[in-house]
Amino acid sequence: MQKAGLLLGLCARTWKSVRMASSAVARRNPLENKVALVTASTDGIGFAIARRLAQDGAHVVVSSRKQQNVDRAVATLHGEGLSVTGTVCHVGKGEDRERLVATILDINVKATALMTKAVVPEMEKRGGGSVVIVASVGAYRPFPGLGPYNVCKTALLGLTKNLALELAQRNIRVNCLAPGLIKTNFSRMLWDDQARLESLKATMQIKRIGKPEDCAGIVSFLCSEDASYITGETVVVAGGMPSRL
Amino acid sequence: MQKAGLLLGLCARTWKSVRMASSAVARRNPLENKVALVTASTDGIGFAIARRLAQDGAHVVVSSRKQQNVDRAVATLHGEGLSVTGTVCHVGKGEDRERLVATILDINVKATALMTKAVVPEMEKRGGGSVVIVASVGAYRPFPGLGPYNVCKTALLGLTKNLALELAQRNIRVNCLAPGLIKTNFSRMLWDDQARLESLKATMQIKRIGKPEDCAGIVSFLCSEDASYITGETVVVAGGMPSRL
Amino acid sequence: MQKAGLLLGLCARTWKSVRMASSAVARRNPLENKVALVTASTDGIGFAIARRLAQDGAHVVVSSRKQQNVDRAVATLHGEGLSVTGTVCHVGKGEDRERLVATILDINVKATALMTKAVVPEMEKRGGGSVVIVASVGAYRPFPGLGPYNVCKTALLGLTKNLALELAQRNIRVNCLAPGLIKTNFSRMLWDDQARLESLKATMQIKRIGKPEDCAGIVSFLCSEDASYITGETVVVAGGMPSRL
Amino acid sequence: MQKAGLLLGLCARTWKSVRMASSAVARRNPLENKVALVTASTDGIGFAIARRLAQDGAHVVVSSRKQQNVDRAVATLHGEGLSVTGTVCHVGKGEDRERLVATILDINVKATALMTKAVVPEMEKRGGGSVVIVASVGAYRPFPGLGPYNVCKTALLGLTKNLALELAQRNIRVNCLAPGLIKTNFSRMLWDDQARLESLKATMQIKRIGKPEDCAGIVSFLCSEDASYITGETVVVAGGMPSRL
């Protein structure tokens, strides 16, 4: 289970050619000269993604709703020699309503759409960019008891296709990551109860709960030149949980 | 393109057995003793569905936001000897905001969810029921220029799966209809322009725009006992437009 | 689990108009004046489909590989006052090889393709027709231990889309039924073992194994004029087992 | 359009930890100490994949049906300082029958299944492995006029899910690549005709035909430790052609 993490990889197309991008040298820092804004990135999957993008050469903007969480994440990543900046960013309206359908829709779907559109002009100036939306395997097959969450994630699959269509002519690609059961604080209710965890594991082919790091590589990949012919697609990272054909 | 029509077929399980339901006699009035509430049903697809359900034996409640439209639809169907009642029902908040993401999400997704839940207690009293949500083929492959509409329709695919899961133990089935390009007032912008119509037709295998009646039979079917083992599914009625595997 | 049942509904377009087809009179015998060829139809799902099409007014050709099975099925349906004929038809090559990938592919996919093409000229003479291919929910999410069966069923989803594309201009619609776990002799290995049955039931939302009759209504529907704008689609009848979005 | 390329990435699990695999050092040669067998790899997409895997540190076995093609490919890659070996490998039976349904099924589906199973024991000895099957976007939405090809590619989507299920407990992951229109000799008939090319481009969001290299990065990624929680999935690389939700 994931918060509505949205990744906006601002791509400076400074590479001389695809050929060069494909060379071993380029791949050492596949995201060099790029700026990545990662929302909800002080913890869990978002944090793992932020760290990975920075390791791969991007300058990363870490963002979340609470100053202290932002500060802690930035300090940790600075301590690893990575290039990051932090910013507080409210994409929702109030924690008290977070469990209501309305707010979940707001935060997940509307905020993702609005945030993407807000960054488009900057991406255009740089000659293009890459957006990776974080949905969930619950978008395909509902997690029981999490209706509004699941429905929003399904909506994000559609948002991915629609933004890909709208932004293609501006050289902006839009793809989506659908994680399965990943061990984060946010998903604790799913894995803390042993019985529930076992019933979820029974639907996996790789018999372990995922780690946030399992989600980071694919995001880096989707932001890189290697993915330059991929748009509108969703990649599922769920240990083989039932998703779609 | 369709308004967020939601069909709630309230099923009185008065049939003695599936066997009887399968007999020729039962099929003459497959929806006898059922009450169907059809929202957004004074025109277009909703109206065709309402008429068909009444022809198949149900008592139909026609509903829309404007009294005069409700009155006109009820008069028409009464004139055909059908059993209908009308009611005005505001599921949205203001026409002026209808084109905004927020309101489209509200009307399409939240209203559908809330309306379904409102009817559940009545369905339970009757021993079960059937809900048919109306999405769109745009849920699978976006109609250009209709982003918020498309995304809401995608969300409805997820809502269908989630409501099916939540309501199964109450003997309520939840399915979904995804129409393609159907000739209604609501979709006029898609078929009124000849160039746009031709480009859409090129993606169809059956080379004609659909009629509202093309959507009515499947809804009646999904509400009938013949569909008693079908839940959580979406049926596409789109003349072979690209949808999914 | 189903044998590769293929239904070929030969439609004589004798109805005067869709309007008339939609009237209550037409719906009493929605398949009147049609001839339906149902392969693998002496038992299980195929038999239930054959009976239902005959009850709905079609003349049905019952077919299978063994004369005695054909005779028995024809006698049963005659005894119910239905209009049927029987014919022996080998669509495969040898039972001894049935469990091999090659033969399963042969029987399921190639035979379905060849059989459909063999009937096309006759359908064209009559002005059009309807084909319903029988796949399985295993096409979307594999039944464990049934690899070749599952893969063939996946191939049938593609065959449906391809035949729909090829045959649309001849007024032939091609759709597909994907049953879940249906209680037939063929699927006995899946439901005879109580532990396996319970583990499959855990994935259903409607907590019962399906009956062959649960699959018959949708086939009759897909062959009727009510489905005249539906082609290339698959309808899942699986009590809410995980399928696809 | 692609030949039935099958990639078998034999993974020697020599990395000490995921942590190390995630480090910048490991990512310079993400496939170090691995052996990759790439079938149909002397040209087009297969060749681009073979080159990329070698650049990423794997020892690559180049394979095809003709000795001279194998020799040429090996010489080219040796000339780039890459570690490759060549071997002739007949996975089909006769070019004369290649366009028939039967043979296409044989070569694409059966050969892929048999080849995978042949390599499993070797993978097990090494502690696990990764298989990447090459399907096509035609698996989801048929290329007109290429029915048997499309159907086989659909079958490969199912084969991916089934092999993933069967091989998970042996620590072997199975995923799939579905390329769109890629400029190769094999797909010449689709892009050589300007009218056909334009009609295909109209369905893309990124308005160019793909290059074989566009397909190589994702294969390297799926074979790497970064993808260790991904199995049974298909990634579409098609410039946004309609695929699935």
The Cα C242–Cα B233 span in angstroms is 10
Half-sphere exposure of B9 (CA within 13 A, CB side): 36
Q: Residue D114: which of D3, D232, D6 has the closest Cα?
A: D6
Q: Is the pLDDT of residue B167 over 90?
A: yes
Complete domains list, chain C, with CATH: 31-90 (3.40.50.720), 93-237 (3.40.50.720)
Of the given ranges (C127-131, C167-171, D33-37, D56-60), which has the lowest mean pLDDT?
D33-37
The Cα A233–Cα A245 span in angstroms is 13
CB-closest option in D168, D214, D226 to A240 = D168
Give the pLDDT score at C93: 42
Of the given ranges (A113-127, A161-175, B12-26, D196-210), which has the lowest mean pLDDT?
B12-26
Identify the closest residue of chain C to B19 by CA–CA distance. C213
User: Do D242 and B154 count as a contact with CB atoms less than 8 A apart?
Assistant: no
pLDDT tens readout for residues A152-202: 999 999 999 999 999 999 999 999 999 999 999 888 988 999 999 999 999
- A80 — pLDDT class (breaks 50, 70, 90): very high
Q: Over range B160-181, report the average pLDDT.
A: 96
pLDDT tens readout for residues B1-52: 455 344 443 333 222 222 223 344 445 688 888 888 888 899 899 899 999 9
Judged by DSSP in three states, B92 sits in coil
Task: Find which of A18, A206, A229 to mutate to test the D interface (most D CBs within 10 Å of its CB).
Answer: A229
User: Do B139 and D242 count as a contact with CB atoms less than 8 A apart?
Assistant: no
Q: Provide the whole-model pTM.
A: 0.85
Strands (E) across chain A are located at: 6-10, 35-38, 59-64, 84-88, 129-134, 172-179, 234-237
- B154 — pLDDT class (breaks 50, 70, 90): very high
Most confident stretch, A208-217, B148-157, C188-197, D229-238: D229-238
Give the pLDDT score at B16: 25
Q: Is the pLDDT of residue A98 over 90?
A: no
Chain B CB contacts of A110 below 8 Å = 101-102, 105
Total Cβ atoms within 10 A of residue D238:
30
Residue type present at position A106: D
D96 CA: distance to closest CA in chain A (Å): 32
Q: Is D102 on the interface with C (CB under 8 A)?
A: yes
User: Do D155 and C158 count as a contact with CB atoms less than 8 A apart?
Assistant: yes
pLDDT tens readout for residues C57-105: 999 999 888 999 999 999 999 999 999 999 887 654 433 333 345 556 6
D237 CA: distance to closest CA in chain A (Å): 5
Q: Is the pLDDT of residue A106 over 80?
A: no
User: Do A159 and B154 count as a contact with CB atoms less than 8 A apart?
Assistant: yes
Residues 6+ apart with CB under 8 A from B182: B1, B2, B44, B45, B209, B210, B211, B212, B214, B215
- B126 — pLDDT class (breaks 50, 70, 90): confident
Q: Is C176 on the interface with D (CB under 8 A)?
A: no
Sign of CA dihedral D8, D14, D18, D22: negative
